[in-house]
Structure 1
Amino acid sequence: MFFSTWFVLAQVDWMSVLEVQKTTDKTEEKLGELYLELFKKTGAEIDNPFVNHAIDSIVNTICRDNYIDRESIKVHLLRSDEINAFALPNGHLLIYSGLILAADNQDQLGGVICHEIAHIQLNHVMKKLVKEVGLSALVSMTMGKGGAEIMKETAKLLSSSAFDRSLEKEADIKAIDYLINAKINPEPFANFLYKLSDNEFAAMKYQSWISTHPDSKQRAGYIIDNIKNQPTKYEPVLTAGTWIKLRDILSQP
């Protein structure tokens, strides 16, 4: 068995494999920069120290308690009425102020953040882009050969198109683990899915986080099933006063 395994591995062109991985990593890094630059044109980046510190506190807690490299998650807050949050290549996480204001409590927001971090950690972003566009096309785009229109179209894949159902469920399950490890109550995340799946609420915005995540009621159901018999002692990351002040600042024009 040893010699059989050695023979199979010896047939692999490891230099080619490593070069492909190196190219993929560089492509992902450049794509992250290009998409971030594009989305920053759609809404002003929030530079309020209090707001940034509050959101960082949530992200820091999630990363610390789940042994995630905090520097690998690059959070960007954009001012926009759109109820949305999504991941970009190379660990960029965009959160719109509209999503924060749509959350009834910090645990709902924490659930969405965990879901998007799960997409990043599970490499779903690049998997989606490679599947939909192709690696060669992505490489060409980073070399300035893709054109602005193609960049805009592929950006829509990240901000307004759902991942495959299996990937969404995988991100949900991983998000539940993240929440429980961070002592953040996961039940409000399920409640948030129910809330945004309401037709009346969803109709308030042309585009929302829920529009990119279909089957929300079904997903909320299995989230509830997966948190049964879990520890019920949860601790808020932010104080009640911090959460109120955060929303007050963001609600101001």
Structure 2
Amino acid sequence: MKRIVAAFAASILLFAQPAAAQSILRDAETEAMFKDMSASIIKASGLSTRDVQVVLINDDSINAFVVGGQTVYIHSGLIQAADNANQVQGVIAHEIGHIADGHVALADAGAKPAMGITLLSMVLGVAAIAAGSGAAGAGIMAAGQQAGLGKYLSFTRTQEASADAAGARYLNTAGVSGKGMIDFFKKLQQQEYGYGLANIDPFMQSHPLSGERIANLTNDLQTAPAWNAKPDAALEERFKRVKAKLLGYVAAPDRTLATYPASNNTVYAHYARAYAYHKAGYPDKADAEAAALIAIKPDDPYFQEIQGQILLEAGRPRDALVPLRAATAGTGNNPLIATTFGHALIATEDKANYAEAVKVLRVAVKRDDDNPFAWYQLGTVYELTGDTARAALATAEQASMNGDHRTAAQSASYALANIPPNTTDWIRAQDIAMAAQNDMEDNPKKYKRR
């Protein structure tokens, strides 16, 4: 599991929350699981599995949201709170409901009336204050703000109920049991009980209360043939593994070791402890846990990946090559794993490995061009082999991805001047240079030299 950058179903209020402001976690095994568990639900919604992505966010709150486009963001805390894969499928179905119904694009339809009420109250309040009635003016403004917020929250509750209904429909159509959706709402209901229902004003919530959502959905889900569909045993096994490794990666080591003590010799415990020890800086213990995983299932590419990653980051890149090469092959050249393998090849500082590193990393960026670290590694090996033009192109790709358009323009220009014209790489350099230049011209203040 690698960090590439720095409750259930977020309300429309969270649609404005930029995912980039949070830490996105990328992991080959987790992404493969998300892809497989969501495929049938996406198809049932009429969307394309090529376009919809499910992305993991490093945040311990129980949440999921969409912010535009066709990406579902799921917090790591939600994975830890879920008991099984089916509950996560219920969350994904709800979020796909937001996407399919265009709720992000329609958010202004709820915000504008609410803003109108608020602005009108401010005008009337200021007028009252100017007329000498300060208390009355303040009261008018406060009441207007309350009314505006209530108007907006009513809109978001309608959107959430719509996404619930759509999600239930997609689950039924896909043949996926809705038990997980209902069970997860019951978890949220327990949280509401913890706050005290008497203290919760249902009209000042962005979502309907969980009890209401359960009541609205139960009949439609329970009467569908999919309700009694048997859980996918293989998917449940994958979920347990992902949940364990995620805890090891994001939680404090003490918490992981308390959850999975040394006396626990399950696959999940070894997986969690491998990440926990690796994170805590105990390479020998981490390596021992990885070895235990390999002993249980020698050909598992994700076990090979963690073994190779531990060796690489412990300063033993040459030893990491065997497991990482096997993991890359075993996952059909998964770009995240291939990037780690390419990194290890470079880290050996053996010129004999550089040609393979170029080959591996070129395939990685072709399959996943939205990975700055992969472009950095490719640029590094190009520089080491004397191909400065393509090293500059890789730097331009990385800079463009990170929003550094000045560096992107400069690097792409160097690449254009030194790569044979009209080749694929030359055309790509031209595209980056033009896009970067257009951004700088459109935002001159942003790029003004200080």
Q: TM-score of the superposition, structure 1-length normalised?
A: 0.65
- Hey, what does 2:211 align to over in structure 1? 217
For the pair 1:240 / 2:236, whether they are aligned, the reply is: yes
The answer for unaligned runs of 5 or more in structure 1 is: 1-33, 135-160, 204-210
Gap change, CA 1:236 and 1:165, over 3 Å in 2: same
240-249 vs 224-233, greater mean Cα deviation: 224-233
Gap change, CA 1:53 and 1:133, over 3 Å in 2: farther
CA distance, structure 1, for counterparts of residue 90 and residue 179 of structure 2:
9
How far is the alpha carbon of 1:239 from its aligned partner?
A: 2.8
- Hey, what does 1:92 align to over in structure 2? 71
Q: Which amino acid aligns with 1:74?
A: Q
Q: Which amino acid aligns with 1:228?
A: Q
CA distance, structure 1, for counterparts of residue 45 and residue 156 of structure 2:
25
Structure number having the greater helix percentage: 2
Gap change, CA 1:201 and 1:57, over 3 Å in 2: farther
Alpha-carbon deviations, 1:111-136, whole Å to 9, x = none?
111001001100111211343169xx
CA contact (8 A) 1:62 1:178 kept: yes
CA distance, structure 2, for counterparts of residue 70 and residue 96 of structure 1:
21
CA contact (8 A) 1:86 1:116 kept: yes
- Hey, what does 1:41 align to over in structure 2? 21
How far is the alpha carbon of 1:202 from its aligned partner?
A: 6.4
Task: State how 1:59-70 maps to structure 2 within 5 Å.
Answer: 59-70=38-49
For the pair 1:116 / 2:108, whether they are aligned, the reply is: no
Q: Which amino acid aligns with 1:245?
A: R
For the pair 1:72 / 2:72, whether they are aligned, the reply is: no
Q: Which amino acid aligns with 1:215?
A: L
How far is the alpha carbon of 1:201 from its aligned partner?
A: 8.0
CA contact (8 A) 1:162 1:214 kept: no
CA contact (8 A) 2:55 2:71 kept: yes
How far is the alpha carbon of 1:72 from its aligned partner?
A: 3.2
SS of match in other structure, 1:239: helix
SS of match in other structure, 2:106: helix
SS of match in other structure, 1:198: helix
Identity between Structure 1 and Structure 2 (%): 25
Q: Which has the higher contact order (CA 8 A, sep 6+)?
A: 1
- Hey, what does 2:111 align to over in structure 1? 132
CA contact (8 A) 2:157 2:206 kept: no
Equivalenced residue count is 186
- Alignment counterpart, residue 171 of structure 1, candidates 163, 168, 171: 163
Larger radius of gyration: 2
Q: Which amino acid aligns with 1:86?
A: F
How far is the alpha carbon of 1:92 from its aligned partner?
A: 2.4
For the pair 1:230 / 2:224, whether they are aligned, the reply is: yes
For the pair 1:186 / 2:178, whether they are aligned, the reply is: yes
SS of match in other structure, 2:24: coil
| CA RMSD between the two structures | 2.7
Task: State how 1:2-17 maps to structure 2 within 5 Å.
Answer: none
Alpha-carbon deviations, 1:164-200, whole Å to 9, x = none?
3322222111111111122211022112112112237
Q: Which amino acid aligns with 2:79?
A: I
- Hey, what does 1:11 align to over in structure 2? none
CA contact (8 A) 2:57 2:74 kept: yes
Q: Which amino acid aligns with 1:63?
A: I
- Hey, what does 1:101 align to over in structure 2? 80
CA distance, structure 2, for counterparts of residue 197 and residue 243 of structure 1:
23
How far is the alpha carbon of 1:68 from its aligned partner?
A: 2.0
- Hey, what does 1:82 align to over in structure 2? 61
For the pair 1:195 / 2:190, whether they are aligned, the reply is: no
How far is the alpha carbon of 1:163 from its aligned partner?
A: 5.4
Gap change, CA 1:215 and 1:98, over 3 Å in 2: same
Gap change, CA 1:35 and 1:75, over 3 Å in 2: farther
How far is the alpha carbon of 1:52 from its aligned partner?
A: 0.9
Gap change, CA 1:96 and 1:115, over 3 Å in 2: same
CA distance, structure 2, for counterparts of residue 103 and residue 201 of structure 1:
18
CA distance, structure 2, for counterparts of residue 233 and residue 187 of structure 1:
8
Q: Which amino acid aligns with 2:19?
A: F
Gap change, CA 1:167 and 1:220, over 3 Å in 2: same
Task: State how 1:50-61 maps to structure 2 within 5 Å.
Answer: 50-61=29-40
- Hey, what does 1:138 align to over in structure 2? none
The answer for unaligned runs of 5 or more in structure 2 is: 1-14, 114-152, 196-204, 251-450
CA distance, structure 2, for counterparts of residue 109 and residue 99 of structure 1:
8
Q: Which runs of 4+ in 1 moved over 6 A?
A: 200-203
Gap change, CA 1:118 and 1:200, over 3 Å in 2: closer
Gap change, CA 1:55 and 1:200, over 3 Å in 2: same
